[in-house]
A and B are shown apart, each in its own frame.
Chain A
Amino acid sequence: MIPGEFTYHRPSSVAEAIAILASHGDEARPLSGGHSLIPMMKLRMAAPEHLVDLGGIADLKGISEDGGTITIGCMTTQHELIGSDLLADKLPIIRETSLLIADPQIRYMGTLGGNVANGDPGNDMPGLMQCLGATYVLTGPDGDREVAARDFYEAAYFTALAPEEILTAVKIPAPPAGHGYAYEKLKRKVGDYATAAAAVVLTMTGGTVASCSIALTNVADTPLHAADASDILTGSTLDASTIASAVAAAEAITDPASDGRGPAEYRTKMAGIMMQRALARAAERASA
């Protein structure tokens, strides 16, 4: 549980950070909250020679709204997400999800950017960002480019992020006022990754689902946007048989690992149960 030797950098600007990353290539890793990377280093499963701490870059923090889009700086901590009045008003599902991540001590350090950029299928925010249709801003030597959360994840720990890039911000289209939402997470204990989790955002019109977006966490080697399930539910009254076919569609795209949380079959079934429960709560919260 002791990491190998590395050089620690603490740049004060994004440009400086990118320059360091670019000059060291694969040997360098950006460091945000550190709650995934540092344990991996202690186990010597990751051994970057250069750690580029983004904590000294003031520009990377903060939550703002502009024309229906909410932008969150990558170094914004989960604790700050929980405390944000803007998010509580416009995107309450972020607060609900953040409160299910680890424990307060970790949330003081853990960041949104680190959580989405690391590519760990156990993280909660990637699925949520897919559910919300978020876009990631990737900043590299040639400037910014944007990649949809739904296109970002390739496999466990493999993403669209290049070694010399930093995921600097997350842009989220604010769902309409009156939307229903829920994040349901089954876990063994505080601090655990999900056995299975589901994010649901929907709108209702006169008892019918007007729009619906669903994503699943930790039931494949990437987060899963359950597009088919969402489509099946849109236009329905959330009757039992439609829900059953949506659950079946969602379960069909899962491919979980068997681990201490349970065998694959269990985790697939739990993804379905979490989705069903999230749907019920989201529908209850939605204005008709």
Chain B
Amino acid sequence: MNDMTPTREQREAALEGMGCKRKRVEDVRFTQGKGQYVDDLKLPGMVFGDFVRSPYPHAKITKIDATEALKIPGVIAVLTAEDLKGVNLAWMPTLAGDVQMVLADGKVLYQNQEVAFVVAEDRYIADDAIQLVEVEYEELPVLVDPFKSMDPDAPVLRPDLEGKTEGAHGPRKHHNHIFNWEVGDEDETAKAFAEADVTINEMISYHRTHPSPLETCQCVASMDKVKGELTVWGTFQAPHVIRTVASLLSTIPEHKIHVIAPDIGGGFGNKVGAYPGYICSIVASIVTGVPVKWVEDRMENLSTTSFARDYHMTTEIAAKSDGTVTGLKVHVLADHGGFDACADPSKWPAGFFNIVTGSYDFPAAHLSVDGVYTNKAPGGVAYRCSFRVTEAAYCIERAMDILAQKLDMDPADLRMKNFVKADQFPYQSALGWEYDSGDYHTAMQKAMDTIGYRELRAEQKAKQEAFKRGETREIMGIGVSFFTEIVGAGPSKNCDILGVAMFDSAEIRVHPTGSVISRMGTKSQGQGHETTWAQIIATEIGIPAADIMVEEGNTDTAPYGLGTYGSRSTPVAGAAIALAARKIRNKAQMIAAHMLEVSEYDLEWDIDGFQVKGNPEARKSMKEIAWAAYHAPPPNMEPGLEAVSYYDPPNMTYPFGAYFCVMDIDVDTGVASTRRFYALDDCGTRINPMIIEGQVHGGLTEAFAIAMGQEIRYDEMGNVLGASFMDFFIPTAVETPHWETDHTVTPSPHHPIGAKGVGESPNVGGVPAFSNAVNDAFQFLGSTHIQMPHDSWRVWQAAKDLGAHG
């Protein structure tokens, strides 16, 4: 071998394939302000839409008069529900099987609800006109507290459902009841509780919050009346689903609808659903024949386009006196707001909340979820988590701490005692899931050793003594969280959205010169797909990632996919990519055999090409094979080198992790400072460690925000409080703790490359770690459970209630 021939290591490195800390290719444009977002789009003749919104959370509308608004020069139209009725779009179906008003139809159900859509030549004129649309309201009694929603005399929120005793998910037991969802064996669970040595029972609330991406929801709709074609550019995490829904609602044939999701500035679940702004823009463009742009402002985003969480979880655990858990019983009261617009797979009204047994071997469990209406914004999206998984993880991780306290056991030891063991996988959970793989004990032990868990407990003990002696006003908490996620929705046997199975797809085309364009049904909102998808292909077909272009978001060119949310991209589309790439490699093998005049069975794959077994000098690189595919394919073989794969996953994937948070709390101010945060993640095979680390940093920062103060709050009158970044907690670099990251690798046995997905793990596992740290700090003063969020005044209040202020 002469000096010019690259070594195997050099050839491998040149690919920048799986496992490489490849720099994100999309950042070249993002860091230079060259991203192309919806609001960057300017079309000739484009006009702007904006909403008249209700100041009242619950009111009848007796009159809407747009006369004065229409007199302003530049105002083109003011649409109301009456106008939308003409095209049968005053209401729209939700992903959860409910219907939702597009514009207020006779009443409003939450503050800031969309009442009328003003279309004007520019945004300034539209906003001026909004002030002049006269709406007469007649206030109705307001229902804010979900625990009062099913009182006999609770106000009727949805007269449209009067007499409907059957909802999309079974019987309704009250006029504000949406559904009851039950899983598990109630009798077996009751037996476990009857025989238990120890039980706990705690109402654990996970407050209402919002995904709050940097870029709000927005779209441009353009109807070409001559061609009969509609193009919609929008902030869509699932562009193909939007196309199908738009076709079903508008009756425009699906092939004449072009949905394009350009660069997206963060989604976190906020951009999965369909919102009134999209529908109104489309209708307005159909009416006016010109493109219509709609861009939400921050307050609109926080107060109307979806919310997350708002789960109130009464949690009971049965255990033996040695700490072995024997039963879990959870009842959830789920506040869904005015319409049930939760973004879950259609048959899952509470998402995958039945992952609530977590990482523990519960022999029996029972879960019951009741969804109710209140006068709050609809939504219920999965804010950087698979459907309701973060609520479930918070529920069980908080409850395990409470059980440990009752048993006077260390919470880490209690977890170790009850983990599903490595040899139990695939593990069948009491609530119906088959966990694919895991090695919880190893991960937990590594985390405990790395952070110095026992030493921290000793330090905490000493600090508690010093506090009791009056020598310090600071207390210390150690938050333990060991989460198991369920992601990668999902297998067609249990997952669909409005009837479309939740597969995903990839198309790969190798060009004659050996470069590649590939397209997927997913849509990055910051996850770095352009970088990581190319790495999977690079490893699978031996073409450098730098020569592979990844394109997503255009429904005309990309194969049909269900989009990006719920950490599904890698488990589902990532598998489709690997399988499409393997189709290409199989064809390449036949071409190489022809070129080398050997049987394809005599060839073996070697990094970036095929070589003859036992004679590595006789080889053809993928670049050479690609040329041959177009230049001189074997006889009887179709020319070209491309493949499409649609992947229906056989199972979900189950990432897990061990997180530890060390917190110091100033009892006099309630200020909690995170001293250390250690996150060990096991997401199976790691495609790009740097992107994983970035994902973990981002998710932990959101978890920190949620646990420590990020909240959509309503006062007792139903006014939404704090719907601006002045009050809605988005931490800056100053507040954000330092993150220590680590990993173990337990590949998924059923995924073609063993990857499980990681984008949401840190949010799911982070929230309980922070909350458990705060709770742990106060345990020695007699506290059992302090509700989130743990902002300073609430922590101070807890300290005061426990008598810590003397």
29 contacts between A and B (CB under 8 A): A1-B298, A1-B299, A2-B124, A5-B124, A5-B128, A103-B732, A186-B669, A186-B792, A188-B791, A188-B792, A189-B729, A189-B731, A189-B734, A189-B735, A190-B732, A190-B734, A191-B732, A195-B793, A259-B727, A260-B713, A260-B721, A262-B791, A262-B792, A262-B793, A262-B796, A266-B670, A266-B796, A270-B669, A273-B668
Complex-state Cα separation, A263 to B792, whole angstroms: 11
Interface flags for B470-512 (1: CB within 8 Å of A; 0: not) read 0000000000000000000000000000000000000000000
**A192, closest chain B residue (CB):** B726
Chain A contact residues (Cβ within 8 angstroms of B): what range?
20 to 34
Docked complex: A145-194 residues within 8 A CB-CB of B: 186, 188-192
Docked complex: A249-288 residues within 8 A CB-CB of B: 259-263, 266, 269-270, 273
Complex-state Cα separation, A189 to B710, whole angstroms: 12
Chain B at the A interface: mostly helix, strand, loop or mixed?
Answer: loop
Interface flags for B103-136 (1: CB within 8 Å of A; 0: not) read 0000000000000000000011001100100000
Chain B contact residues (Cβ within 8 angstroms of A): what range?
20 to 34
Answer whether residue B709 sits at the interface, using C-beta atoms and an 8 A cutoff.
Answer: yes
Instruction: Report the tally of A-B residue pairs with Cβ distances under 8 A.
Output: 53
Answer whether residue A44 sits at the interface, using C-beta atoms and an 8 A cutoff.
Answer: yes
Answer whether residue B413 sits at the interface, using C-beta atoms and an 8 A cutoff.
Answer: no
For A273, list chain B residues within 8 Å (CB): 668-669
Complex-state Cα separation, A262 to B795, whole angstroms: 11
Docked complex: B438-463 residues within 8 A CB-CB of A: none
Docked complex: A1-58 residues within 8 A CB-CB of B: 1-2, 4-5, 44
Answer whether residue B797 sits at the interface, using C-beta atoms and an 8 A cutoff.
Answer: yes
Complex-state Cα separation, A189 to B127, whole angstroms: 31
* B127–A2 CB distance below 8 A: yes
Answer whether residue B722 sits at the interface, using C-beta atoms and an 8 A cutoff.
Answer: yes
* B793–A266 CB distance below 8 A: yes
The 6 closest A-B CB pairs, nearest first, are A262-B793, A1-B297, A2-B127, A260-B727, A266-B793, A190-B734
Complex-state Cα separation, A258 to B352, whole angstroms: 38
Complex-state Cα separation, A266 to B799, whole angstroms: 12
Complex-state Cα separation, A49 to B797, whole angstroms: 45
For B595, list chain A residues within 8 Å (CB): none
Q: Smallest CB–CB gap between A7 and chain B, Å?
A: 15
Complex-state Cα separation, A5 to B129, whole angstroms: 12
Complex-state Cα separation, A190 to B734, whole angstroms: 7
* B671–A261 CB distance below 8 A: no
* A44–B131 CB distance below 8 A: yes
* B792–A195 CB distance below 8 A: yes
Docked complex: B755-806 residues within 8 A CB-CB of A: 791-793, 796-797
**B796, closest chain A residue (CB):** A266
For B298, list chain A residues within 8 Å (CB): 1
For B796, list chain A residues within 8 Å (CB): 262, 266, 269
Docked complex: A223-272 residues within 8 A CB-CB of B: 259-263, 266, 269-270
* B668–A263 CB distance below 8 A: no
Q: Smallest CB–CB gap between B791 and chain A, Å?
A: 7
For B721, list chain A residues within 8 Å (CB): 260
Interface flags for A184-225 (1: CB within 8 Å of B; 0: not) read 001011111001000000000000000000000000000000
For A259, list chain B residues within 8 Å (CB): 727
For A261, list chain B residues within 8 Å (CB): 793
**A260, closest chain B residue (CB):** B727
**5 additional contacts, CB 8 Å, given A2-B127, A4-B127, A186-B669?**
A1-B297, A186-B671, A186-B792, A195-B792, A266-B793
Complex-state Cα separation, A5 to B74, whole angstroms: 14
Q: Smallest CB–CB gap between B790 and chain A, Å?
A: 12
Complex-state Cα separation, A191 to B734, whole angstroms: 11
* B709–A188 CB distance below 8 A: yes
Q: Smallest CB–CB gap between B405 and chain A, Å?
A: 27
**A266, closest chain B residue (CB):** B793
Q: Smallest CB–CB gap between A118 and chain B, Å?
A: 16
For B727, list chain A residues within 8 Å (CB): 259-260
**A2, closest chain B residue (CB):** B127
Complex-state Cα separation, A269 to B131, whole angstroms: 42
Complex-state Cα separation, A195 to B796, whole angstroms: 13
For B670, list chain A residues within 8 Å (CB): 266
**A189, closest chain B residue (CB):** B735
For A266, list chain B residues within 8 Å (CB): 670, 793, 796-797
Q: Smallest CB–CB gap between B581 and chain A, Å?
A: 45
Of B131, B735, B791, which contacts A190 at CB under 8 A? B735
Q: Smallest CB–CB gap between A192 and chain B, Å?
A: 7
For B732, list chain A residues within 8 Å (CB): 103, 189-191
Complex-state Cα separation, A241 to B488, whole angstroms: 63
Complex-state Cα separation, A5 to B729, whole angstroms: 32
**B299, closest chain A residue (CB):** A1
Interface flags for B211-235 (1: CB within 8 Å of A; 0: not) read 0000000000000000000000000
Complex-state Cα separation, A190 to B722, whole angstroms: 16
Docked complex: B705-759 residues within 8 A CB-CB of A: 709, 713, 721-722, 726-727, 729-732, 734-735
For A269, list chain B residues within 8 Å (CB): 796
Q: Smallest CB–CB gap between B455 and chain A, Å?
A: 31
Interface hub of B298, B668, B709, B722 (most chain A Cβ within 10 A): B668
Q: Smallest CB–CB gap between A184 and chain B, Å?
A: 10
Q: Smallest CB–CB gap between B112 and chain A, Å?
A: 13
